[in-house]
Amino acid sequence: MAEGAQADALVLFGASGDLARKKVLPALYNLVRHDRLRVPVVGVGRTEWGDADLVAHAEEGARAYGNGFDPATFARLARLLSYVQGDYNDPAVFHQLHAKLEGPRNPVYYLAVPPSLFAVVVGGLKASGCADRGRVVVEKPFGRDLASAHELNVALHDVFAERDVFRIDHYLGKEAVLNLLYVRFANSFLEPIWNRDHVGSIQVTLAESFGVEGRGSFYEEVGALRDVVENHLFNVVAMLAMEPPTSTEHDAMRDRIASVLECVRPLTPHDLVRGQFVGYRDEAGVAPDSDVETYVAVRLHIDNWRWAGVPILIRAGKRLPVTATEVQVELKPPPVEVFGDEAARHPNWVRFRLSPDTTTGIGAWAKQPGDDMAGRLTELKVTANDPDQQTAYERLLAEALEGDATLFAREDGVEAAWRVVDPILDDHPPAIPYEPGTWGPEQARRLTAADHWHDPL
């Protein structure tokens, strides 16, 4: 499909699945509500359904996960929906799809299916002629390591040009993450201090108070490092650390993301602490001797002019005290202690809260009232939360239909991220047990320069 061309149909593979019900179909409902979806939506799945079953599935998802349910709005979505049933290995399925798409000439194919089926589906699209002038949207994980990510990219490129491959990482579509990017580059007061001369460290924490929620078998295959660090949190770090984009063109930001990820030093076991909450091995689908990490902390180093020597710390874990995602950029203390050493012990910071709310805060010292020149630490903060704001999937689906790839992962960025973690996927220390409701293994503190993590509240 021509770059930036508006799609005239959406084909959803895996339409009968959980991802479609919880994320994709509610996003489509919201797009209809905002008058941003008018093209046919064809669901494809192995479940023996007809059109009415897909409509019922979509209604269930819209009621549970949409931003409010309006029957008239849903009726508009229902009129766009149809269903094709069959096995993805059966060429007849793709011939039936080709016949259904006889009118539309610029379709988008959304693969809400396991990565093991990506090559099967795109191969069927190619053989049937459906891939002509189309683009494909694929879900993470983009491989399990560098080799498999490369193999997956080769399989996709056998059918689609890179400009027509849209890799969804929903973190790139989150309002709070885009707020981080906007604050970074829209405010001139940050740029002079956003470098190794003034930043002491950067910490990124993704904490979840819940466990694997019945998904033990899935978690055994991925673990915390593959599930959220190598993709979601690496992209957050890239947005924090990248150079300013040269323009607003689709690839300008992706060039910068790939460039900074290519400067991240590959991890060693010394830069890693793995943990597993006590009780994880009792979960259904989990091996009794499992060494899969439910907590991981890593220390990154970016070997470029701006960030050399600045430790960048990432941690993510389940069964931690809170559910929150937060970035803390800690600044270096003033060069001279004029009013004592309090400011040296607790320097200024810039804080980005990414969930469950969107907050930007700046930590600063101010004088306490009274005769003494004594200070108190305060935070200047702005919180922006709109209950009707776009969901990440709503934003990303709309941009995929419009042909805007800015917020989608690109091949070089994906493979650069895998190059960082590849050395420690198998060569790593064992997972250390930690009690649910704590901040993970105490050993993770050794990764920080001051033996201290910033804990979101």
Is 227 part of a structural domain of the chain? Answer: yes
Give dist(CA 267, CA 280) in Å, integer: 26
Which structural domain, as residue segments, surrounds residue 94?
Answer: 9-139
Q: Are residues 110 and 203 in the same domain?
A: no
**Last-in-domain residue among 139, 161, 189:** 139
Q: Are residues 106 and 177 in the same domain?
A: no
Is 20 part of a structural domain of the chain? Answer: yes
Total count of domains within the chain: 2
Give dist(CA 113, CA 225) in Å, integer: 21
Q: Are residues 263 and 346 in the same domain?
A: yes
CATH number, residue 71:
3.40.50.720
Q: Are residues 123 and 178 in the same domain?
A: no
Q: Are residues 191 and 59 in the same domain?
A: no
Q: Are residues 116 and 183 in the same domain?
A: no
Mean pLDDT of the chain: 93
**Last-in-domain residue among 139, 160, 189:** 139
Instruction: Give the pLDDT of residue 58.
Output: 97
Give dist(CA 299, CA 237) in Å, integer: 12
Is 151 part of a structural domain of the chain? Answer: no
Q: Are residues 240 and 379 in the same domain?
A: yes
- The reply to whether 232 belongs to the active site is yes
CB 152, CB 142: distance < 8 Å: yes
Is 359 part of a structural domain of the chain? Answer: yes
Residues in the chain where the model's pLDDT stays below 50: none
Which residue bears the tokens 């795109």? 122
Q: Are residues 231 and 121 in the same domain?
A: no
pTM as predicted: 0.93
Q: Are residues 186 and 114 in the same domain?
A: no
* Catalytic residue, candidates 57, 232, 250, 428: 232
Q: Are residues 361 and 423 in the same domain?
A: yes
Which residue bears the tokens 């979601």? 232
Phi and psi at 377, nearest 5°, equal: -90, 130
Give dist(CA 198, CA 390) in Å, integer: 35
Q: Are residues 116 and 249 in the same domain?
A: no
Is 288 part of a structural domain of the chain? Answer: yes
Is 72 part of a structural domain of the chain? Answer: yes
Is 146 part of a structural domain of the chain? Answer: no
Q: Which residues contact 260 (CB under 8 A, 6 or more apart)?
A: 238, 241, 242, 243, 302, 304
Inter-axis angle of helices 146-157 and 118-128, nearest 10:
10
Q: Are residues 291 and 398 in the same domain?
A: yes
Which residue bears the tokens 């809260």? 353
Is 155 part of a structural domain of the chain? Answer: no
Q: Which residues contact 278 (CB under 8 A, 6 or more apart)?
A: 433, 434, 435, 436
CATH number, residue 345:
3.30.360.10
